[in-house]
Chains A and B, each alone.
Chain A
């Protein structure tokens, strides 16, 4: 039985002497259960694009590798794969430098890479392991003395959800911005504190919480507000994973990287 698209995030039960395999464009995950032990292998994929898939295969098909990791858990019948957001803020470098003029507002649909988390256990699930599904670069947001270590990602600024391809290894983050200032708001870099965001499952896409920002000028502190209800762009949103660090928002001054902040060094 093969599952594709966001159905790969459905809970699974692996029969004895069988292996589960999740295949993503840049990584494949192999899981085998032997009594109370979970054997997990994560391998890089080279195909780079294409969809995600999940299937149960026989043990003879599992790759021989010294990289298998072994975990022990008493309650090991069902297994819950879940997409989670990266463990550090993500600095997104838009494909084009865009300026939001004073008094204007817009919405962007940003694509965030997700990590694969495997949990097991009943009402108190235990995390077995976590693995990034795409390669992100390390980057620094701030000056060399103060700032945040982040993941870096080149991205496209989508104005409509229709232009976002539905994939299982990326979640869509709706970002609403109002420029309520007298100055231009330039998007050269956007730092999203993804550790504060949850993931929901829609009918076609994975989603994160919506973000709402009112920019009041580079010198004024404005909060980035996290909308905690599921985004209303698709029907029947189901929560899939909680935020690593639940929060109500963060300071917008640490969100937009404008040229003037980076000319000091």
Chain B
């Protein structure tokens, strides 16, 4: 039924229209396949040794340029006068340009980011309050997957003007753990216990050496810094194990953590003593 309707409709068309339609279809199919093929070949073979980021950008440039050329070819085939169209596009372009300053700013920022290379796909970065793994770096924005599996899109302009921390840039990192021990603890014993904890932990590197420092006399205790170097992939393992190790070792050695406390002392001889005031009232 449907096929018969199409056949009837095709019969009403002139041979010229049919030929043109066929040429448009061939242009679209072959053009798109060619663009796709060119993008894939360039990415897989020509840019095999380039970074993922460069591969992605080149692929997009090839795809967008290719699609534009196919569109132009199709319009030409349909008899649209391209010179008039391009002239109109110029006027429209000026108008759109004024209206899309933010986008242009993002594109320029994206070009700066691409040339500066502060991070690459797969790096873990922290920008503002967002920490996550970079999934793609595009001309307008970067896309991040956070550790709680949220998709975050950050415009390039914002990245260029913000402080970005690349957490996985270097192969090893130091984890600083700050805590306070009670006044009156034997600091040499605390130092020895921390050195033993660091040495026994399987995720902590023994070179560079762990940092153990008594940093400050605080209100409730002495502040201690334990800095452990680790391979960037071992963050979770080290973090979980070291907290348990410190807690267990301190409990075994009788080393007390400092807790916030306030001591209030009331002298019985003071005229402000509540007991004295109470006895004075009774008398």
Contact = CB atoms under 8 A, between A and B. Distances in A.
Interface stretch (A30-38, A71-79, A139-147, A214-222): A139-147
Contacts of A91: 207
Interface of A: 91, 135, 137-141, 144-147, 149, 152, 189, 265
A138 B206 contact: yes
22 contacts: A91-B207, A135-B202, A137-B202, A137-B205, A137-B206, A138-B206, A139-B206, A140-B172, A140-B229, A140-B231, A141-B207, A144-B208, A144-B229, A145-B170, A147-B171, A147-B172, A149-B171, A149-B172, A149-B231, A152-B206, A152-B207, A265-B208
User: Top 6 closest A-B pairs, CB basis?
Assistant: A139-B207, A137-B206, A139-B206, A138-B205, A140-B205, A149-B231
Contacts, number: 40
Given A138-B203, A149-B231, 12 more contacts: A135-B202, A137-B202, A138-B204, A138-B205, A138-B230, A138-B231, A140-B207, A140-B208, A140-B229, A144-B172, A147-B171, A152-B206
B27 interface: no
A185 to B, nearest CB: 20
B204 to A, nearest CB: 7
B199 interface: yes
Q: Is the interface of B mostly helix, strand, loop or mixed?
A: loop
B36 to A, nearest CB: 38
Nearest to B204: A138
Nearest to B203: A138
Contacts of A139: 205-207
A135 B231 CA distance: 18
B172 to A, nearest CB: 5
B2 to A, nearest CB: 54
B202 to A, nearest CB: 7
A144 B231 contact: no
A146 B172 CA distance: 9
A135 B206 CA distance: 13
A62 to B, nearest CB: 27
> Quick one: which of A135, A147, A149, A265 has the most chain B CB within 10 A?
A149
> Quick one: which of B172, B204, B230, B231 has the most chain A CB within 10 A?
B172
Contacts of B230: 138
A53 B7 CA distance: 86
A194 B211 CA distance: 29
Interface in B187-212: 199, 202-208
A203 to B, nearest CB: 35
A145 B207 CA distance: 13
A137 B229 contact: no
> Quick one: which of A144, A145, A189, A265 has the most chain B CB within 10 A?
A144
A139 B205 CA distance: 5
> Quick one: which of A138, A139, A141, A265 has the most chain B CB within 10 A?
A138
A147 B203 CA distance: 17
A137 B231 CA distance: 12
A137 B208 CA distance: 12
B206 A144 contact: no
Contacts of B203: 138
Contacts of B208: 140, 144, 265
A39 B170 CA distance: 40
Given A91-B207, A144-B208, A152-B207, A137 B199 contact: yes
Contacts of A265: 208
Contacts of B207: 91, 139-141, 152, 189
A144 B199 CA distance: 19
Nearest to A147: B171
Contacts of B170: 144-145
Nearest to B169: A145
A138 B202 contact: yes
A259 B86 CA distance: 68
> Quick one: which of B171, B203, B231 has the most chain A CB within 10 A?
B171
A141 B170 CA distance: 14
B201 to A, nearest CB: 9
Contacts of B199: 137
A137 B206 CA distance: 7
Contacts of A152: 206-207
A147 B171 CA distance: 8
Contacts of B171: 140, 145-147, 149
Interface in B202-229: 202-208, 229
A146 to B, nearest CB: 8
A141 B172 CA distance: 11
Contacts of A140: 171-172, 205, 207-208, 229, 231
A91 B206 CA distance: 11
A91 B207 CA distance: 10
Interface string B16-59: 00000000000000000000000000000000000000000000
Contacts of A135: 202
Contacts of A144: 170, 172, 208, 229
A8 to B, nearest CB: 26
